[in-house]
Amino acid sequence: MPPIFRKKILVKGVVQGVGFRPHVYRLASLHSVSGWVKNDASGVTVEAEGPAVKLNDFIRDISRLKPPASRVDSVSVSVLVPAGEKGFFITKSGGAAPAAAIIPADLALCADCRRELLTPSDRRYLYPFTNCTNCGPRFTIVKSVPYDRPATTMSGFKMCPDCLREYMDPLDRRFHAQPDACPVCGPAVRLGAGGCEYTGRAALERTAALLIAGRVGALQSLGGFHLACRADVPGALKKLRGAKSRPHKPFAVMVPSLAEARRACFVSKLEAAALSSSEAPVVMLLKRVPGSFAGAAPGLAKLGVMLPYTPLHAALFALLAEQGFSGPLVMTSGNFRDEPICKDSPEVKARLSGVASFTLSHDRPIHNRVDDSVAFEAAGELRLARRARGYVPGAVKLASGGRPLLACGADLKNAFCLTRGSEAFLSQHIGDLSEPKNQEFYSETLAKMRALLKVAPVIVAHDLHPDYASTALARALPGRKVPVQHHAAHILSVAAEHGLSDPFIGAAFDGTGYGADGKIWGSEFLVFERNCWRRAGHLKYFGLPGGDIGALEIWRPALALVKAAFGSDWRRRAGTLFKVVPQAGLLTVERMIEAGVNCPETSSMGRLFDAFSFIAGVRTEATYEAQGPMEMESLLDGKGYGAYEFRLIPGPFLQLDPGPAVRAAAADRLAGLTPVVISSRFHSGLARAASSALLYISSATGIKTVCLSGGVFQNRALLESVTRRASKGGLKVLTNVRVPANDGGIALGQAWYALKGYKENN
């Protein structure tokens, strides 16, 4: 008989709430080893004994054959004295190990549960809380680790004998599925509409009927409420837009299947995989018919699309089909403008009663509110524009660690970052911190994340801007403060993602960020060497009359650029462009520019895009951030129309002078050229200039690695063109993938800045 060995195996990563213990149990049976497995605060701990060959095969297969929703970061093994144990057991969770467990993100409805949900003979037929170890709520219901039912908002639901039998059977896919439930013992939906109440299937059927009739309703989903209505009923969309003060901003739609998504839009393999993944984000897809879905996404070539990712959505679409409707539903966040998404019925009643004709809610409490994630494909990668449901609280693995810290993020599209060793945990999308309710959401989420991760930050990194709300929040917290320049943080978010050590060059293009010289930066070329950074180039400064209002009244930065480009002769040569602007306002702004009153200097790429969208004739004012640039990008048809010139001016800082491009674009517009041509020439010229600037700085420094970041690089055409041109010039180009290039990813860069001890090289 071969000798018996016993080993202790500690598995770290995403290994709780994903069927990892039954996976280990099945492997133990397969390899005939004895022992036990349990969850603890560190991950999953196993003690196993058996012959050396079988024990080694068992340990190898723990990570090789891991469950699909899991992620194994490390497997550490130590030798124990054999105990002569017989059989293999799953034991009670717990233990005194240091906190290192990672709670998985919420998982979209799996194929097995979807099949049960849509089978009339199944006991979970149309049950809107069907789940198993491969799908269902996780982060939204968890309160603490280890991840067990008593530590979730399912603790108040006692399982019936049938569910308990599944839950206790190691060979069942619902073994220790903490949200396991059925119509007998689990949560239930409730519909309130017109003074009547419905529950269960009747509530779903009535909801389907109300939606088909063109009503707007509030639907409780995984991480909060959606506001939903038909995407093809103008009256419903008008009501929704009026209530949310979103006259043009696009809404996402939900379609019943991937086939329906393909009928409406072009869907690549990568986009299809994302739509069908366990993360199930909203994916930005190119419309098949230009101008379609005008109510949901007016003026845009792309449409945000998602599939039914919860059993509630799947059941609802099944009942909609029964009643003869298979079209898309608008499914947008249940909030007003930039406020937090509503997570319970009292919030809906207080905040959404004016828009929602009915409310479909349920009694499974949401502990962590989380909005939908948004993704898009560019340069062969799926990239996140908003990181939330399906991705949070997943960690970004860092190349090295350090003392625990908090990075507070920016003010727009805020998300903060907590580090634990070599793991960086970004919060879900918080939103605009100028909204008091979002500041409350920030504090609430920070307290919950700290408790969940068991992290006490000793360092607090924050934006350099002295007046940001995030800076004020940072000042109020304990710990050593580390201010971080906005664009340095953008670029370092790429470096952190890719485990990059300097030296490297960075290009950060966005709307606004407080510069080291006190001006408004936004088109920055930075060099990182020996844990120091310096500014190497930027867009030539221009005036921004009125400051931030220029992001809405986009004729303002256009006027500043036209005056700078044409000088005193601007009215004769380009004044016709501004006939659409109220002349009294135009005269006032002209005087502001000339006197330098309330007209800060900026290198903002976002405002440059705004200005060119005005010059191209796309629009005069914006009703949401980057509306003009998004509509201008939507005009691109892939044809070549030439390129405008952006002159490179060498000096202490390399400058991109937009003057020649402004003059050419104005002349083209006055000559009657279409916005399509002007947009194409602008994008091509800017991409050439940006890549030329990178190559110029590379030649001067000898550095061949480049990081691109900032919200403007969510423009697919610009990102792909700059990447292609810089790569052809011999540069290695890295970009954001797992965190947004916009301000939603900036906290990761702030964290990396503080961990690595970066300083500005004046």
* Residue extents of the structural domains in the chain: 4-90, 190-362, 374-537+743-755, 538-735
Fold of the CATH domain 374-537+743-755: Nucleotidyltransferase; domain 5 (3.30.420)
Q: Would you say the CATH fold of 538-735 matches that of 374-537+743-755?
A: yes
Widest Cα–Cα separation across the chain: 100
The rounded mean pLDDT for the chain is: 95
Separation CA 490–CA 545 (nearest Å)? 26
Tell me if 387 sits within 8 A of 375, measured CB to CB. no
Q: 3-class DSSP state for residue 293?
A: coil
Quick one: average pLDDT of 378-397? Answer: 96
DSSP code for 136: B
Measured between alpha carbons, how far is 624 from 248 in angstroms, rounded to an integer?
A: 8
| pLDDT greater than 90 at residue 176 | no
- The answer on pLDDT for 539 being more than 50 is yes
pLDDT band at 14 (very low <50, low <70, confident <90, very high): confident
Q: Would you say 566 and 604 are in contact if contact means Cβ atoms under 8 Å apart?
A: no
Residue 331 has pLDDT above 50, yes or no: yes
C-alpha distances out from residue 142 to 17, 179, 391, 418, 570, Å: 10, 10, 15, 18, 61
Name residue, tokens 């060099």: 527
The verdict on whether omega for the bond into residue 146 sits within 30 degrees of 0, i.e. cis, is yes
Query: At the top level of CATH, which class does the domain 190-362 belong to?
Result: alpha beta
Measured in whole angstroms, the distance separating CA 353 from the mean position of its chain's CA atoms is 28
**Class of domain 4-90 as given by CATH:** alpha beta
Question: In angstroms, how far is CA 636 from the centroid of its own chain?
Answer: 25
Q: How far apart are CA 550 and CA 558, in angstroms?
A: 9
User: Is the pLDDT assigned to residue 578 strictly greater than 80?
Assistant: yes
pLDDT at 666: 98
75 — pLDDT class (breaks 50, 70, 90): very high
* pTM reported for the whole predicted model: 0.94
Query: Which residues are registered as beta bridge partners of 152?
Result: 142
Q: Output the pLDDT for position 97.
A: 46
What's the CATH code, domain 538-735? 3.30.420.40
Q: Are 16 and 146 in contact (CB under 8 A)?
A: yes
Q: Do the beta carbons of residue 281 and residue 428 sit within 8 Å?
A: no
Give me the half-sphere count of Cα atoms (radius 13 Å) on the Cβ side of residue 586: 16
**pLDDT over 80 at 440, yes or no:** yes
Tell me: pLDDT of 1 over 80: no
